[in-house]
Amino acid sequence: MIRQPDLKGNRAVFWLAVDGRPIPRFLAEHGVAAPLSIEIPKTPVAYFVPAEAERLGSAIGELRRTLGEHAYLVLASDKLSPAWIQRAITLGADDVVDPTSAEDVAICLARTSRAIERARGAQTEQACLAMERDYLQACIDNLPAPIFFKNSEGIYVGCNGAFAEFIGSPPEGVIGRSVYDVAPEALAQRYQAADDELLERGGTQVYESEVCHSGGTRRHVMFHKAAIKGGDGRVRGIAGAILDITERKTLEARLTEAAERDPLTNAYNRRKFFDLAEQMVQQARDDDKTLAVAVIDVDHFKLINDRLGHAEGDNALRMIAGTLEKTVGKGNVIARAGGEEFYALFIDGSINEAKQTADRMRMEVERICQATALSALAGTVSIGLAAFRPREENLDEALKRADDALYRAKNSGRNRLCVAA
Which residues are designated catalytic? 340
The DSSP string of 85-154 is HHHHHHHT-SEEE-TT-HHHHHHHHHHHHHHHHHHHHHHHHHHHHHHHHHHHHHHHHTSSS-EEEEETTS
Return d(Cα 175, Cα 158) in angstroms, integer: 6
Return d(Cα 366, Cα 369) in angstroms, integer: 5
Name the β-bridge partners of 207: 223
In 3D space, the residue among 249, 309, 281 whose CA is nearest the CA of residue 395 turns out to be: 281
CB atoms within 10 A of CB 236: 15
What angle in degrees, to the nearest 10, is found between the helix axes of 270-287 and 246-260? 80
CA 24, 30, 35, 39 torsion: positive or negative? negative
At 221, which helix (H) or strand (E)? Answer: strand 218-229
**Integer Rg of the chain from CA:** 43
Sheet holding 291-298, edge to edge: 333-338, 341-346, 291-298, 381-388, 417-419
Longest dimension (CA), the chain: 131
Return d(Cα 374, Cα 317) in angstroms, integer: 11
